Amino acid sequence: MRVGPIDLDSTLGCGQVFRWRKEGDVWRGILDGTEVGLRQHGASISAEGAIGERTLERYFRSDDDLDLIREEIAKDGAMAAMVAQFPGLRLIRQDPWECAASYVLATNANIPRIQKMIESVCRAFGDALPGGGYDFPRPDQIAGGKEAARSCGLGYRCGRFVEFARMVDRDEIDLGSLRNVEYGECVKELKSCPGIGDKVADCVAVFGLDHLDAFPVDVRIKKAMEELYGVSGTYRQVNQYGRDYFGRYAGYAQEYIYYAFQRTNRLR
């Protein structure tokens, strides 16, 4: 599989995507409506399931020159250390709709709960798959189900989630087309959707719409930027600093920082 170099544990476990689970040494997930199992072999991977190689290459952004990117974002000793610590950590090219809908649910909740909410929504609205799993639901499958969504434990995200699905279902926004506009325009359009503010917009921009210059700032990145660079302030200020400092691959830098700090906090 020509997706290397890649490290599945960091790439699928860093928090950028929510539905992959590791069973033994196999990462299981759903890709393009197909249940897939992935194994690590050195710096490469193998797949079981009816999934095309081209689909995997696209999903794992094999078109990114990881060596170049890592070199570009290693602007200082701290970043160089993080880059060195996690070889094979790649960004993923997620489906824009699934990415956006997932991050609408991911507001102000921890990752275990986010995963539960998403699985609950998939079970309630998504297509059943042969292996017993459920696909992530399409907008039209959610749009009419405000009542059903209330039993998914989404809290105050419920209304936003369904309204967003309706908006996409009515073609009031074309998420995919935002790949073809600049970062600023992309974020502005995304923020016109219910449940999408500064942070979710940046996540969708970088994880789903190829805007690798986006720099999502959540509570952890906020702390990290303060510790690493003494940067604090409004979302706009921290975001702008990250984008200016790291450049066109700021989104990658953000993920290395996020994962590095996630791991150090886990040890405390």
Partner DNA sequence: AACCAGGTCTCGA
Partner DNA sequence: TCGAGACCTGGT
Which residues here bind DNA, judged by CB under 7 A? 14-16, 106-114, 116, 153-157, 160, 191, 194-201, 203, 216-221, 233-234, 236-237, 254-255, 258
Least distance between DNA and beta carbon 117 (Å): 8
For DNA, the closer CB: 26 or 109: 109
Nearest residue (CB) to DNA, 22 versus 39: 22
Cα distances from 177 to residues 31, 62, 126, 172, 208, in angstroms, run 21, 22, 24, 12, 11
How near is the Cβ of 151 to DNA at its closest, in Å? Answer: 10
Nearest-approach distance from CB 203 to DNA, in angstroms: 6
d(CA 242, CA 5): 25
Q: How far is the CB of 111 from DNA (least distance, A)?
A: 4
* Tokens coding 33: 């409506």
Nearer to DNA, 39 or 248 (CB): 248
Rounded CA separation 138/168 (Å): 10
Cα separation, 115 vs 108, whole angstroms: 13
Q: In the structure encoding, which two tokens stand for residue 52, read together?
A: 């095309």
- Name every residue whose Cβ is closer than 8 Å to that of residue 268 and which is 6 or more positions away in sequence: none
What are the helix (H) ranges across the chain?
8-13, 53-59, 66-73, 77-85, 96-105, 111-125, 139-143, 146-149, 157-169, 183-190, 198-208, 219-229, 235-246, 250-266
Kindly state the smallest distance separating residue 64's Cβ from DNA, in Å: 16
d(CA 120, CA 134): 10
The nearer residue to DNA, 10 or 62, going by C-beta atoms, is 10
- Closest distance of CB 206 from DNA, Å: 9
> Closest CB to DNA among 28 and 199?
199
Please list, residue by residue across 188-201, b when 16 or more beta carbons sit within 10 angstroms of its beta carbon and e when fewer do: ebbeebebbebbbb
Cα separation of 135 and 174, whole Å?
A: 21
What's the min distance (Å) between Cβ of 223 and DNA? 8
Which residue from 167, 194, 164, 189 is spatially nearest to 178, judged by alpha carbons?
189
Closest CB to DNA among residues 38, 200: 200
Q: Which is nearer to DNA, 151 or 177 (CB)?
A: 151
